[in-house]
Amino acid sequence: MHIAVTGAAGFLGQRLIRRLLEREQLRGQPISRLTLLDQVQVEVADSEGVEVVSLAVDITAPRAFDELLDERPDVIYHLAAVVSSAAEDDLDLGLAVNLDATRALLEGCRQRDLSATRLVMASSVAAYGGELPDTLDDMTALHPQNSYGAQKAVSELLINDYSRRGLIDGLVLRLPTIAVRPGRPNAAASSFVSSIMREPLNGEEAVCPVPTDLELFVMSPDKVVKALVHGAEIDGETIGPFRAFMLPGITVSVGQMIETLGEVAGPQAIEWIRHEPDSKIQSIVGSWPTRFHTQRADVLGFERDRDFRDILQAFQEERH
């Protein structure tokens, strides 16, 4: 079992790699090789028994995926992306990474007859937008109101069509907002969601750029990584006529998150949060829907978190 991961240096990539190495197998087969792609060389500790090949590649360059695909991976996790704020700031960069690189990956698979290779791409709740119903479902149209979401929606359509044509065995998981992320803030418009929990727990100031009644649709890093693993293991035939759907998050308001922070870490933790409205972030994140019937994902066995308290406690335990 040869698994490739693009965006391997990222938060999700790192966490997925760790999980795969712990599991030692995928689809019932021992993992023999991991090929890790990112702009920088990715180092992996404790990979006994698994050949790890790290490639530093600019995925917007011509033939960027050649070395990876020539080794005919069985599963490709395509996690590399320019996130929401960055894609909004730089249309060309977003198109190059979020659209053209996905297409190059698909074409590379097609040219090598990798029709049985499972390609799992991460998409996003940001692909939804516009005038939405109160509760969305698997048949709700994607009317993205940000370039990141538009580019992800385009990639979904291409992956679906290449899969339908039998050129690849693709699957796209639309991720809820991931919370709570460790590390530092990034260029995602949703970066604050983790910041306003993580920084106070570290005794640091955090900025909340949105009103506290703003709702979010969130999923813990643990459940997201579980979903990525599961996404490689479910059978293509059972997925249905469209290879992209929303993962089961939970709905929580920023106010509820802050309240839970107070309960879990004491009221003084809340004092670290400074409220500074940012209309740009508010307009991006505010356009993302927060209530879903995730029927497709539920039927296929993807798991949701129990509540936000669970998520925050798991994050705290991990820190110690």
Residues that bind its own copies (CB under 8 A): 91, 129-133, 138-145, 147, 150-151, 153-154, 157-158, 160-161, 164-165, 240-242
Residue with tokens 């922070």: 261
Measured between its terminal Cα atoms, the distance across the chain in Å is 34
In angstroms, give the least distance from the CB of 65 to its own copies: 17
Name the active-site residue from 77, 128, 148, 162. 148
Q: Which is nearer to its own copies, 37 or 106 (CB)?
A: 106
3-state secondary structure of 149: helix
The distance of closest approach from Cβ of residue 68 to its own copies in the complex, given in angstroms and rounded to an integer, is 22
Contacts (Cβ under 8 Å, ≥6 apart) of 61: none
**Which residues, including other chains, have CB under 8 Å from residue 193's CB and lie 6 or more apart?**
177, 179, 180, 216, 218, 254, 257
**Cα dist from 283 to 131, 199, 211, 238, 280, whole Å:** 14, 23, 11, 37, 5
| Residues 6+ away with beta carbon under 8 Å from 62 | none
CB of 244 to its own copies, least distance (A): 9
Between 40 and 91, whose beta carbon lies closer to its own copies? 91
Residue closer to its own copies, measured from CB, 163 or 190:
163
We find the least distance from the C-beta atom of residue 141 to its own copies, in angstroms, to be 5
**Closer Cβ to its own copies, 11 or 288, answer by number:** 288
159 HSE (CA, 13 A, CB side): 32
The yes-or-no answer on residue 77 being catalytic is: no
Q: Write the Ramachandran bin of 27: left for phi over 0, alpha for psi from -120 to 50, otherwise beta.
A: left
Query: In this complex, which beta carbon is closest to its own copies, that of residue 145 or of residue 253?
Result: 145
Distance in Å, CB of 214 to its own copies, minimum: 19
Which residues are known catalytic residues?
A: 148
